[in-house]
Amino acid sequence: MNVAPCSNVSRMSWLLPLLAVVGVAAMAVGGSGLASGLGTTIYQKNSLYHRIFVSRSGSIVSLQFGSRAPDLIQSQVDVSNLRRQLHEYTVMTFAGLLYVPEPRRLLVMGLGGGVIPREMGHYYPEMEIDIAEIDPEVPHVAERFFGFHPTEKMRIHVVDGRVFIRRTRRQDPERKYDLIVLDAFNSDYIPFHLTTREFLEEVKAVLTDSGVVVANVFYTNRLFDAELATFLDVFPWCQVYFGRRSGNAILVAPASDKVSELTVEEAVERAEARQREREFTFDFARLVPPRLRPGTRPGARARVLTDDRAPVNVLRSQER
Mind telling me the catalytic residues? 183
User: Is beta strand 60-65 parallel, antiparallel or unpaired with respect to 51-57?
Assistant: antiparallel
Phi, then psi, of 280 in degrees rounded to 5: -60, 145
> How many other C-beta atoms can be found within 10 angstroms of the C-beta atom of residue 115?
27
Helix (H, G, I), strand (E, B) or coil at 53: strand
| Closest alpha carbon to 262 in 215, 212, 313 | 212
CA distance from start to end of the chain: 24
Burial label, 9 (beta-carbon count in 10 A; 0-12, 13-18, 19+): middle
DSSP strand E in the chain: where? 35-36, 39-46, 51-57, 60-65, 75-78, 105-109, 128-133, 154-158, 177-182, 207-218, 239-242, 248-254
